[in-house]
Amino acid sequence: MAKQWKAHCLLVPHPSQGHVNPMLQFSKRLQHHKVKATFVIPRSFWKTITNQSTFKSSIAFETISDGYDEGGRKAAESGEAYVERFRKVGSQTLSELLDKPSNNGLPPVNCVIYDTFLPWVLDVAKKFGLIGAAFMTQSCTVNSLFFHLHQGTLELPVKESKILLPHLPELEPSDLPSFLYLQYGMYSFFWDYLVEHFSNIGKADWVLSNSVYELEHQVVDWMRKMWPLRTIGPTLPSMFLDKRIQDDDDYDINIFKSNNDLCLEWLHDKPKSTVLYVSFGSIASLSEEQMQELALGLIDTDTYFLWVVRESEEAKLPKNILEIASEKGLIVRWCPQLRVLSHKAVGCFVTHCGWNSALEALSLGVPMIGVPNWSDQTTNLKDIVDVWKVGIRAPMDQKGILRREMLKNCIKEVMESEKGKEMKNNAMKWKNLIGNSVDEGGSSDQNLAEFVAKISQH
Ligand code: UDP
């Protein structure tokens, strides 16, 4: 049994939907290359998985503790307290896991792959003499900005109206991750936390990035001069890209319940490219005023819409929204996003520009209307609009609200205008390039093969 595997990796993701998805997908790619993957998540996160009973995976799962086994992040008094306790208790319990003798016929763990949001995992891996591979779940552009802060080559507060940094497009202050400009000072703890990723990255044997060389080649080339960086993305299930891993057609883990059949049946009879898909990811919480404007704008367009409104956001909707939306709109609490984006009926994605959502839309050729909420989403939008040219920026008023009239104009621009057609053509171009990158011999495929070959020799 042990002979079947060339190496054995422990993968330690940050416990949230947008971070677990890419690492779990990467585990499947590793196993396809005969590297055993064991996925390690906090017990508190395991309890939030809604599809545990139907969950089938050949990936081995283990749990550690974040210090809040019963409630996870929500049980902590603050974000800062959670990070500190997770670092302390996580280090202890991960060490205990690595100390445990393997008695299941698997080869001993020789490599630990960790989300850069958890830099302490590298220290634990090194204590055990293991290969340590950092895994970046944000774009290389965003990571390079936090690295510049760490190095002091970008200083806060930003005073210039144009920011010129090596191998990045010219940025306006509002293109920076929100913690650095638009919400500067509001999340100072997050700021430290994101910069801290780089405290020990020089000790990592590998730096893997869920990005694609062709999307960000200039900044990737620059980062590769400093670290053994390899782009291995996008980590979408294989059946949406190269189709080489037959049973890989889903992200597998959901912390929200989804009625997949309802969404797909509703899309089924809609004509090609007539549906607007609207989602703000797993974390964003919009103001009630913003939700009302979106609702009234969507109802007032000529377009069908499928809108994901998580249960915690539902109370902000107009009371009679479901009756008014009737046939034209479907509002669900969660949906199978990849199946929706790859459905021929979907013509445009109104998105918060989370990195996974942006990569998914690019990979599936769907133009976007960007309504960023916080964090790296503002920077992802800059790339979507000005670098990849596959979307537009939704204009906000002085209160930071996207008004219904503006939303309607954006929808018209993407779904009906000549500029919209260009964006669709660009999106299809990226779809092909990204597909090639993960297919045999493509940039991400070669990087993965190199990583596997090297860790198999250790
Ligand atoms: N997602 C999903 N169904 C939904 C909404 C989102 O499966 O109804 C998935 C989406 O495909 C993506 C992830 O949740 O993989 C969200 O990650 P992203 O980085 O876009 O945003 P975050 O949730 O981290 O803000």
- Domain coordinates in residue numbering, the chain: 2-252+439-455, 260-335+344-434
Identify the three-state secondary structure at position 114: strand
CB 15 near ligand 1, within 6 Å = no
* CA dist., res. 30 & res. 59, Å (int): 10
- Superfamily of domain covering 2-252+439-455: Glycogen Phosphorylase B; (3.40.50.2000)
Res 369 pLDDT > 70: yes
Residue 283 CA to residue 17 CA, distance in Å, equals 9
What phi and psi, each to the nearest 5 degrees, are found at residue 217? -60, -35
CATH, domain range 260-335+344-434? 3.40.50.2000
What digits encode the pLDDT tens for the residues 169-187? 999 999 999 988 888 877 7
The answer for residues whose C-beta is within 8 angstroms of residue 368's C-beta and 6 or more apart is 348, 349, 350, 351, 353, 358, 361, 384, 390, 391, 392, 414
The minimum-distance atom of ligand 1 relative to the CA of 357 is 20
Please, is 184 exposed, middle or buried when counting C-beta atoms within 10 Å of its C-beta (0-12, 13-18, 19+)?
Answer: middle
Instruction: Give the pLDDT confidence score for residue 308 in this predicted structure.
Output: 98
Rounded-to-integer distance, Cα 135 and Cα 232, Å: 10
Closest CA to 337 of 409, 258, 411: 258
Is 18 close to ligand 1, i.e. is its CB under 6 Å away? yes
Indicate which residue's Cα is closest to atom 25 of ligand 1.
281
Q: Is 31 in the pocket of ligand 1 (CB under 6 A)?
A: no
Give whole-number Cα distances, 39 to 4, 186, 269, 282, 318, in Å.
19, 34, 39, 21, 41
- Contact predicate 111/11, CB 8 Å: no
Question: Residue 368, SS3?
Answer: strand
* CA-based nearest residue to 237, from 342, 137, 134: 342
User: Quick check: CB of 366 below 6 Å from ligand 1?
Assistant: no
**Pocket flag, ligand 1, residue 178 (CB < 6 Å):** no
Nearest CA, atom 2, ligand 1: 337
CA–centroid distance, 97 to ligand 1, in Å, is: 30
Site to substitute for ligand 1 among 24, 337, 352, most atoms within 8 A of C-beta:
337
The atom number, within ligand 1, closest to the CA of 373 reads 25
The band of 295, judged by pLDDT with boundaries at 50, 70 and 90, is very high
- Rounded average pLDDT over 353-379: 97
Give the E-state strand segments of 139-287 in sequence order.
206-209, 229-231, 275-279
Do 2-252+439-455 and 260-335+344-434 fold alike per CATH?
yes
Instruction: Concatenate the DSSP letters of all residues of 180-212 into one string.
Output: GTTTTTTTHHHHHHHHHTTSSGGG-SEEEESS-
With a 6 Å cutoff on the Cβ, whether 435 touches ligand 1 is no
As a whole number of angstroms, the distance between CA 272 and CA 428 comes to 15
The helix (H) or strand (E) run that includes residue 221 is: helix 217-224
Reported as a single tens digit per residue, the pLDDT across 221-268 is 999 999 999 999 999 999 999 999 999 999 988 899 999 999 999 999
* pLDDT tens for each residue of 19-56: 999 999 999 999 999 999 999 999 999 999 887 777 67
Exposed e or buried b per residue across 52-61, where buried means at least 16 C-beta atoms within 10 angstroms of its C-beta: eeeeeeeebe
Whole-angstrom CA distances from 250 to 234, 257, 321 are: 14, 14, 31
Q: What element of type H or E holds 447?
A: helix 443-457
* Residue 281 near ligand 1, beta carbon < 6 Å: yes
pLDDT over 90 (residue 397): yes
For the chain, give the percent of residues with pLDDT over 70: 99
Which of 17, 254, 346, 362 best tests ligand 1's pocket when mutated (most atoms within 8 Å of CB)?
17
Centroid of ligand 1 to alpha carbon of 164 (angstroms) = 31
Question: Among 350, 356, 378, 381, which residue has the most ligand 1 atoms within 8 Å of its CB, making it the best to mutate?
Answer: 356
Average pLDDT over residues 377-384: 98
Q: Whose CA is nearest to atom 15 of ligand 1?
A: 356
The pLDDT assigned to 1 comes to 46
Which range has the worst mean pLDDT, 156-160, 189-193, 384-388, 402-406?
A: 189-193
State pLDDT tens for residues 110-145: 999 999 999 999 999 999 999 999 999 999 999 999
- Residues 10-15: what's their mean pLDDT? 97
- List the structure tokens of 300: 């007032």
Q: Which atom of ligand 1 is nearest to the CA of 281?
A: 23
**Closest CA relative to residue 39, chosen from 55, 53, 50, 54:** 55
Q: Is 68 in the pocket of ligand 1 (CB under 6 A)?
A: no
Q: List, by residue number, the catalytic residues.
A: 19, 115
Q: Provide the pLDDT for residue 3.
A: 58
